[in-house]
Structure 1
Amino acid sequence: MRVLVTGAAGHIGRYVLDDLLAHGHEVVATDLVPVDEPRAERVHTGDLQDPELVRKAMDGAEAVVHLGAIPHPNGPDPSALFATNCLTAHRVLDEAGRAGVGRVVAASSLSAVGLAWSPVPQSPQYVPLDEEHPILVQDPYGLSKVVLEEVARATHRRYGTDIVCMRFPFVGAGERLRIQLDNVRADPGSNRAELWGWLDTRDAAEALRRALEAEIEGCHVLNVVAPDTSSDVPTATLMARYHPGVPAFAELAGHAGLFDIGACTSTLGFVPRHSWRTGTPPPHRGALSAQTRTCRPARPDGSVR
């Protein structure tokens, strides 16, 4: 396929370009800064808030990987961050729908749940945390990811575009990952709001490609997370220490991750393969059984999450 990759100069974007090209896809790349990729069919430099840039970049695309966004909440103007991420999401997805693009894969974030950057510390309502967990978001970055997912649903309803939104945790490899692991090792509590989730960048790139290639229809939101934590402290100990009293609907053995990735596995046939540990990582957290789901806290209307 000819794939437009937005945010192609970013950390994930560079891995995505390599992965797509290695698997025979043609790429068109765009970013705010120049993309140094001679193998690309075309490269566009500019702001995704510019409708003309998006239109030109989308020309001839059969699929889109949308990574172009402000990737963190650390900025001087939270409202501007929110506005930028929401506008670029709508520009890209709406133009993809208008252009008849068949498949869009967008990088959402587990921040959409609302734990990671909450100004008021929160705990999950249950673990493993799946895509049905209630939205608790308070911060503008996480809220912008909620909007991205709603834009995806609206785009599918309006144009019939098949879309996959991937909720990523911290994503890293090499030195970037080493620094993150060192920080978590020194202070596990510093990562409590992120539930010690992480993903190797190679797995992120492969998951994005698999979502492009999968024979699926509709609009999907998927957790894409490594099956283990980023901490060397056992998972049950982490929860007892930093999130006491939270119901666990699966055994928290060893360093098992706290996110349910069963939907990713069943939808894409993909389980993250890379681990930072020297031993074998724990089995992936599959979809919760129907029996387990009935054990979750009930909504105010009496239905079960």
Structure 2
Amino acid sequence: MNADVLPRVLVTGAEGLVGTAVVTALVSHGHPVTTLSRPDAAAHDDVRVVRGDATDPDAVREAVDGCDAVVHLAAYPNPWDHPAAEVFGNNTLATFATLWTAAEAGVRRFAVAGSVNATGLLMHPRKPLPERLPIDERTPARIADPYSLSKRVDEETLRAVCERFDASGVIFRLPLVVPPDRAEGLRAWVAERVADGPAEGWGWIDSRDAAEAFRLAITVPVEGAHVVQLAALTTMHDEPTEELIVRHAPGVERAREFAGTDAAVDVRRARELLGFVPRFDRPGIVEEED
């Protein structure tokens, strides 16, 4: 592919919270976009739409025809709304079928929606604390639910596809993704669950920042497969992070001190690999800052 030509991108899960922001970002930057959309999903404007399911290799094969890159977002978003076997089976099969089929068709660039839950800490029934703060891509896993397990397997799937097909890709460990128009309600929801925060470093990210990270992941040159943590640089809480740690994670080792409301999440890898720096440090900012 000519380096001056924008990649043609297949997006799965395009109608979801993250997917909508990703499609908007890609289209606004001039990328030709195809979505693999369920039959009942409302289509985005200015995209090619193929109806089907990400678990179906035939549907993926049709959708990825003519594409240079894949952004894979389709998944059940939690372990509660479906039986455990269905959550794990759907998520892992969708990732495998999409990435493997696309790679067989010649695609060599992938960006995948993973989750901070790949550590298992947040959804663990016994709520274990992380061994160290800030959390990062090396945080040890303690998985005890089907959703977190599916997200951990997705990381290995990306590695296997990149190894087999000499491809490259990034899977993002996404925290809570906050669209501007839902910020107030989500901030109240997070405030009620502040005690669970150590498991994800009290992290969150604006949906527009998440979309920009995915755009960079299919345009910035990388080699091989990479797991990358994403988060805003600050928490959603008014209380200083050091006080949150004392109250909710006493005794947890700290690799550094946290100033003000700094998120207890290390996002250096995203900056070093992709040049990504989150723009929004408060939920609900409507006007983009220069």
- TM-score computed with the length of structure 1 as normaliser: 0.87
State whether structure 2 residue 37 is matched by structure 1 residue 37. no
Work out whether residues 131 and 252 of structure 2, in 8 Å CA contact, stay in contact via their aligned partners in 1: yes
Does the residue aligned with 2:33 lie in a helix, a strand or coil?
strand
Q: For residues 159 and 70 of structure 2, what CA distance do their matches in structure 1 show?
A: 16
The alpha carbon displacement at 1:59 in A equals: 0.9
Q: Where do residues 107-146 of structure 1 align in structure 2 (5 Å cutoff)?
A: 107-146=113-152
The superposition leaves residues 55-89 of structure 1 with CA deviations (integer Å, 9 ceiling, x where unpaired) of 10111110000001111222240111010000000
Answer with 161-170 or 28-37: which moved more: 28-37
Where structure 1 has 5 or more consecutive residues not aligned to the other structure, the ranges are 280-305
Tell whether 2:278 aligns with 1:272: yes
> Structure 2 vs 1, CA of residues 100 and 123 (structure 1 numbering), >3 Å: closer, same or farther?
same
| Partner residue in 2 for 1:285 | none
Give the CA deviation at 1:277: 6.5
User: Of the two structures, which has the highest relative contact order with CA contacts closer than 8 Å and spacing of 6 or more?
Assistant: 2
1:11, 1:179 → 2: CA distance?
15
What is the percent sequence identity of the aligned residues? Answer: 40
Does the Cα contact within 8 Å between 1:31 and 1:47 map onto a contact in 2?
A: yes
1:199 aligns with 2:205: yes
In the alignment, is the contact (CA less than 8 A) between 2:9 and 2:67 conserved in 1?
A: yes
Q: Is the 8 A contact 2:200 2:265 kept in 1?
A: no
Q: Which amino acid aligns with 1:127?
A: L
Equivalent-residue separation in structure 2 for 1:166 and 1:150 (angstroms): 13
Q: Distance in 1 between matches of 2:238 and 2:73?
A: 30
Q: 1:20 to 1:237 in 2, by over 3 A?
A: same
Shift of 1:170: 0.3
User: Are the equivalent residues in 1 in contact too, given 2:8–2:67 (CA < 8 A)?
Assistant: yes
Q: Does 1:235 align with 2:245?
A: no
Match of 1:287 in 2: none
Give the stretch that moved more between structures: 270-279 or 4-13.
270-279
Q: Is the 8 A contact 2:178 2:283 kept in 1?
A: no
**Alpha-carbon deviations, 1:86-138, whole Å to 9, x = none?**
00000001012111112000000000011111111110000111111212121
What's the CA shift string for 1:143-183, capped at 9, x where partnerless?
A: 10000000000001110111100110000112322211112
Question: How far apart, CA to CA, are the structure 2 residues paired with 1:86 and 1:77?
Answer: 14
Q: How many residues align?
A: 278
Question: Match of 1:83?
Answer: 89
Contact 1:31/1:68, CA 8 A, preserved across alignment: no
What do residues 166-221 of structure 1 show as CA deviations (whole Å, max 9, x unaligned)? 11000011232221111233552254543321000000000000111101111011
Matched, 1:245 2:251: yes
Q: Give the letter for the 1:39 counterpart.
A: D
Number of the residue aligned with 1:96 = 102
* CA contact 1:4–1:63 (8 Å) conserved in 2: yes
Distance 2:284 2:64 in 1: 43
- Aligned residues of 1:8 and 1:35 also touching (Cα < 8 A): no
TM-score w.r.t. length of structure 2: 0.92
In structure 1, how many angstroms separate the alpha carbons of the residues matched to 2:202 and 2:125? 18
Q: 1:34, CA displacement in angstroms?
A: 2.5
Instruction: Mark the CA change 1:277 to 1:80 in structure 2 (over 3 Å): closer, same or farther.
Output: closer
Shift of the 67–187 alpha-carbon distance from structure 1 to 2, 3 Å rule, reads closer
2:180 maps to what in 1? 174
Root-mean-square deviation over aligned CA pairs:
1.6
Give me the whole-angstrom Cα distance separating, in 2, the residues matched to 1:169 and 1:189.
Answer: 16
Kept in 2, the 8 Å contact 1:184–1:190? The answer is no
Partner of 2:157: 151
2:224 corresponding residue in structure 1: 218
Task: Describe the SS at the equivalent of 1:213.
Answer: coil
How far apart in 1 are the matches of 2:246 and 2:147? 28
> CA separation in 1, counterparts of 2:93 and 2:193?
36
| Contact 1:115/1:137 (8 A) holds in 2 | yes
Report the Cα distance in structure 2 between the residues aligned to 1:34 and 1:278, rounded to whole angstroms: 26
